[in-house]
Amino acid sequence: LLPQELIRLKRDNQPLPAEEIKAFVQGIADDRISDAQIGAFTMAVFLNGMSREEVVALTTATRDSGHVMQWSDLNLPGPIVDKHSTGGVGDLVSLVLGPWVAACGAFVPMISGRGLGHTGGTLDKLESIPGYDPYPAPERFREVVKSTGVAIIGQTGDLAPADKRIYGVRDVTATVESIPLITASILGKKLASGLDALVMDVKVGSGAFMPTPEKSRELAKSIANVATQAGTPTTALLTDMSQPLAPCAGNAVEIVETLALLRGDRPNSRVMQVTRELAVEMLIAGRLAGSREEALTQLEKALTSGAAAEVFARMVHELGGPSDFMERSEHYLAKADVIKPVYAEQAGVVQCIDTRAVGMSVVELGGGRLRNDASVDHSVGFTDIVEIGESVDSQRPIATVHARSEAAAERAAEQLRAAFSIGEGTASADTLLQDTF
Ligand code: URA
């Protein structure tokens, strides 16, 4: 079919043959299809949707539009597994999870992203560590995965190149918010890393990428079903993002928290509960554990023995960071010039949090990007963020702000006060793990 014929079929709500979707996506990767044609196609999909078979075809075609990693030649003694998340605030899960499951025998080639909108990016956080190279040569990446069990790096140009073009066009044609297109975009990239199994963390709540709980649920189902049908067994968890997941948000501050969690501090904090649930799924999907109980036992051992922390330290060093980063992290991580508490205007109990606003405030402090070519200030952000249901008053602040200047700290403090609703009555957080698909 000519590209315009494929677009016409979708415009008229007719089924698309899988092989025609494949040819169209290959044409996008080869630059034979124009941006106008991509835009017309994505709008037709946005308006008319796609059948499950069509989404599977779009996903596999996107995955196969560039290099698909192979691991079989390395004869790794464990499964290749990974996690992906729709992103959030104070969401440092990947940083703990990757080393933790690697310490249990999994191999995790994790391709992560930078901050997007109000959400933080795992790569930006890792780049707080001096020397850490998120773009090693492909062979080096494979070596680090083999020797350490985990490597967290950035996306290179030859991974799912069709998605790069499609996403760029969607961004400027009002076609981002389409479940079939989001599914194929996320999975096209993720499945190109040659996984045996995937676990997906789809967020719900005021800091989630999806606008409503129904849409988050729909996306979770779509991703689990499409990835599994495309040959990579996948479970999707629906988890709460109605408040920052860890009690901090920023780059270096989230690395500090990661190190504490890997050392076994706060094992029952919200972020560790979510991380543990995802880890259980990965160990079961990778056949490293036969049951939830067995997985929990292995995870507990890997944490308390220091094995998970050791894996993180090795990964950092193998990718160019200091060999004594775990022991001397405060020596290596940037500190903000101004660090001060933010108090609420009235005493009371935290009722709810506009988590997106907290994330945007970190971006404005310089911790994220307003333009995609901008650099990031690793030192800024918030720590000691109180949770829903906790009390604040003139002694107990909402959070500590880390800023470049007094003026920036003051602006962030105002934004934070506006993002926190403080009231009289008790309040409780939403359920952390809301569903599994
Ligand atoms: N993240 C992606 O990679 N793609 C989307 O379409 C949405 C979020």
Stretch (H or E) spanning 342:
strand 338-342
pTM: 0.95
Nearest Cα to Cα of residue 134 among 251, 50, 47, 221: 251
Please state the atom number of ligand 1 nearest to the C-alpha of residue 113: 3
Sorted by sequence, the CB contacts under 8 Å of residue 349 that are 6+ apart come out as 389, 390, 391, 392, 422, 423, 424, 425, 426, 427
Pair 351, 394 in one domain:
yes
pLDDT tens, residue by residue, 331-358: 999 999 999 999 999 999 999 999 999 9
Residue ending a domain, choose from 274, 293, 318: 318
Pair 86, 212 in one domain:
yes
Ligand 1 site, residue 185, Cβ cutoff 6 A: yes
Q: Does 300 map to a domain?
A: yes
The CATH number assigned to the domain holding 371 equals 3.90.1170.30
Cα(96)–Cα(286) distance, rounded to whole angstroms? 18
Angle, nearest 10°, between helix axes 3-11 and 18-29?
Answer: 130
Pair 303, 235 in one domain:
yes
pLDDT tens, residue by residue, 363-418: 999 999 877 778 899 999 999 999 999 999 999 999 999 999 999 999 999 999 99
Question: For residue 373, what pLDDT is reported?
Answer: 77
Pair 346, 313 in one domain:
no
Question: For residue 168, what pLDDT is reported?
Answer: 87
Pair 79, 193 in one domain:
yes
The reply to whether 170 belongs to the active site is yes
The CATH number assigned to the domain holding 32 equals 1.20.970.10
Pair 342, 400 in one domain:
yes
Structure tokens at 282: 């990965």
Pair 215, 290 in one domain:
yes
* Contact in structure between 328 and 322 (CB atoms under 8 Å): yes
Q: Does 339 map to a domain?
A: yes
Q: Does 164 map to a domain?
A: no
Ligand 1 site, residue 182, Cβ cutoff 6 A: yes
Pair 110, 227 in one domain:
yes
The reply to whether 84 belongs to the active site is yes
Q: Does 127 map to a domain?
A: yes
Catalytic residue among 63, 118, 164, 190: 190
Q: Does 179 map to a domain?
A: no
**ipTM > 0.85, yes or no:** yes
Q: Does 176 map to a domain?
A: no
Sorted by sequence, the CB contacts under 8 Å of residue 91 that are 6+ apart come out as 85, 119, 120, 203, 241, 245, 246, 271
The CATH number assigned to the domain holding 190 equals 3.40.1030.10
Euclidean distance between the first and final Cα of the chain, in Å?
Answer: 36
Pair 267, 380 in one domain:
no
Q: Residue whose CA is closest, atom 5 of ligand 1?
A: 182
Q: Does 13 map to a domain?
A: yes
The reply to whether 122 belongs to the active site is yes
Question: For residue 247, what pLDDT is reported?
Answer: 98
Residue ending a domain, choose from 283, 318, 353: 318
Ligand 1 site, residue 361, Cβ cutoff 6 A: no
Pair 14, 119 in one domain:
no
Range of the domain at 19: 3-49
Residue ending a domain, choose from 250, 284, 318: 318
Question: For residue 369, what pLDDT is reported?
Answer: 86
> How many domains is the chain partitioned into structurally?
3
Nearest Cα to Cα of residue 422 among 381, 394, 390, 382: 390
Pair 310, 339 in one domain:
no
The reply to whether 82 belongs to the active site is yes
Pair 135, 227 in one domain:
yes
pLDDT < 50 positions in the chain: none
Question: For residue 27, what pLDDT is reported?
Answer: 98
Q: Does 22 map to a domain?
A: yes
